[in-house]
Amino acid sequence: MASLLIKGGRVIDPATKTDAVMDLLVVDGRIAERRVPEKGRGAAPDGRVIDATGHWVCPGLVDMHVHLREPGQEHKESIESGTRAAATGGFTSVACMPNTDPWNDGLSVTEYIVAEARRKGMVNVFPIGCVSKGGLGVELAEIGDMVRSGAVAVSDDGRPVGNSHLLRMALEYTKIFGIPLIDHCEDANLSASGVMNEGFVSTVLGLKGIPGASEEVAVATDLAVAAMTGGRLHVAHISTRGSLEKVRRARQEGVAVTCEATPHHLVLTDQSVADSHYDPNTKMNPPLRSEEDRQALLQGLLDGTIDAIASDHAPHHADEKLVEYDEAPFGIIGLETTVPLIVDRCVRKGGLAPARFVELLSRNPARILGIKKGTLAVGADADVTIIDPELERTVDVSRFKSKSRNSPFHGWTLRGWPVATVVGGRVVHELQPVATR
Ligand SMILES: [Zn+2]
C-alpha cells in the first residue's frame, strides 16, 4: 500500500466546506483520511511525509485552457514538456485546445493525445475537440467520436466558431453529450488586422486596434444562440466590462453560461504595450485591455460572475516572437506563472479569499468540464497542490519547464508559489529550497 502523509497544512476544500489545519493521508492514489494534526510523526511509516506547516493544501488545480501544441508543433511545446510545466506551476490537470496540426477534430487525434498523455504526461490531460472540421467553421467535427475517446468539451479556440447556424447545431449536439462548448468570442471583421486593444494607447503608438466590441458582439450572439438551444456555453478568456455584463445578465435570465479570465487580463493593461516598448510578449488575443476593463474583471472574480481562471498557455518559439510587433503571433505562456500572479496580486493584494481562489482554479473548472476533480473529499483522487503563500521568488523564464519563453512576467517578484504537486498520490513536483552559498 503506497502511502503519503501531508502533515499540518491548511486544507482549503470548498467542495466539502473545509478550511482548517489537518493532516491528509493518501493511500493508493486516493484521499484515505483527513484528521486533526497529530503530534510527532504521525502514521505513514511505510510512506512519505510532506510537512505542509504554514502552507495551503488545495485540491489539485485544473487549467481548463492550455495549448500543448502536440501533435505537429513540438518545437513550441509537447505533451511531455507542457505537462511538466503544468506540474511545476501547481496544476494537476489540464484541458488542451484542439488547434494542433492537424486539428483535433476526430477520433484519431483525440486517441493520440490520450495515449501520449498516458505515456509521457506528468499530469492528467483532458482533450478538447473541435467544434468544426479543421476549425474552419463550415462542417461539424466528429463530436460523438471524440467524446467517446475522452474529449471533455469542444472549441475552435484560436478562432471563434463564427457561423451562428453551426454554433446552434453544435450546442444542440453538446447538450446531448452533456459537455460545454467553449467559444473564443471574436468578430473577425471588427478585429480585422488589429494587434492590440483599440483605445488611447493604440492611437499614441500608431498600432491597429481590436475594439472591445469585437468580443462583445460575439458574446451577445453566442448568448442568444445558447438561450435558444439550452446548450452549455463557456466564454473563453473574457476581457471586457461589456462582455462581463452580458454574461451576468444572461445568467440571471437562466442561460447556461460560464466564463473564464486569464491572469494576464487580470494584472496587465494595454499600457504594458507602451511601457515594454512593443514587447511582442504583450501581444495576445484577446488583447490586454483598459484599466476600466481590468477593474471590472477583478470585480467579476469577487462577485462570482467569473467562474474560472485559466492560463491560455500559448507557447511560441523565441524566433517566432522576435519579430516586429505587427508580425508577431498572438499568445503567451502561463502555466508556470498563474499561481504566483493570482496569489500575489488577487489574494494577497486584491481581497480574493483563498477558498474563492480554490473555486476559481480547481473546483469550478472541474465542474464545468464534468471531470471528477476539484475536491479533497475522502475517496477522491489524490490530486493535491501545496502552496506556500509566503514564499517570494522572482520569475525567471530561463528556468521554465515549458519549451517556450514567451512571458511578459520575466523578472517579476511575486509572493505565493506552489511548492509541491501531487497527482494520483505521486509527487510530480517538489520545489527544492534554493541553496545559499
Ligand atoms: Zn482563444
Distance 122 CA to ligand 1 centre (A): 24
Q: In 338-357, which positions are buried (b, 16+ CB within 10 angstroms) versus exposed (e)?
A: bbbbbbbbbbeeeebebbbb
Distance 184 CA to ligand 1 centre (A): 5
Distance 237 CA to ligand 1 centre (A): 7
How far apart, in whole angstroms, are the C-alpha atoms of residue 380 and residue 399? 33
Average pLDDT of span 320-334: 95
Rg (CA), the chain: 21
Distance 156 CA to ligand 1 centre (A): 8
For the chain, give the percent of residues with pLDDT over 70: 96
Q: Is the pLDDT assigned to residue 46 strictly greater than 80?
A: no
Q: Per-residue pLDDT tens for 207-225? A: 999 999 999 999 999 999 9
Q: Per-residue pLDDT tens for 57-74? A: 999 999 999 999 999 999
DSSP one-letter string for 364-398? HHHHHHT-S-S---TTSB--EEEEEEEEEEE--GG
Distance 249 CA to ligand 1 centre (A): 23
Residue 251 CB coordination number (10 Å): 17
How far apart, in whole angstroms, are the C-alpha atoms of residue 83 and residue 259? 24
Tell me the catalytic residues. 312
Distance 175 CA to ligand 1 centre (A): 22
How far apart, in whole angstroms, are the C-alpha atoms of residue 288 and residue 282? 7
Average pLDDT of span 98-119: 98
Q: Is the pLDDT assigned to residue 274 strictly greater than 70?
A: yes
Distance 227 CA to ligand 1 centre (A): 22
CA dihedral 80, 85, 87, 91 (to 10 degrees): -110
How far apart, in whole angstroms, are the C-alpha atoms of residue 404 and residue 380? 33
* Residue 43 pLDDT grade (very low, low, confident, very high; cuts 50, 70, 90): low
Mean pLDDT of the chain: 96
Q: Is the pLDDT assigned to residue 436 strictly greater than 60?
A: no
Beta bridge partners, 95, equal 126
Q: Is the pLDDT assigned to residue 343 strictly greater than 70?
A: yes
C-alpha cell at 401: 519547464
Which pLDDT does position 434 carry in this prediction? 46
Q: Is the pLDDT assigned to residue 44 strictly greater than 60?
A: no
Is-contact 123 428, C-beta < 8 A? Answer: yes
How far apart, in whole angstroms, are the C-alpha atoms of residue 407 and residue 19? 33
How far apart, in whole angstroms, are the C-alpha atoms of residue 54 and residue 249? 40
Q: What angle do helix axes 212-229 and 164-177 make, rounded to 10 degrees? A: 50
Distance 157 CA to ligand 1 centre (A): 5
* Residue 435 pLDDT grade (very low, low, confident, very high; cuts 50, 70, 90): very low
Q: In 7-17, which positions are buried (b, 16+ CB within 10 angstroms) versus exposed (e)?
A: bbbbbbbbbee
Q: Is the pLDDT assigned to residue 1 strictly greater than 90?
A: no
Amino acid (1-letter code) at residue 205: L
Average pLDDT of span 243-261: 98
Distance 198 CA to ligand 1 centre (A): 18
* β-bridge pairing 3-13 and 209-210: unpaired
For the chain, give the percent of residues with pLDDT over 90: 95
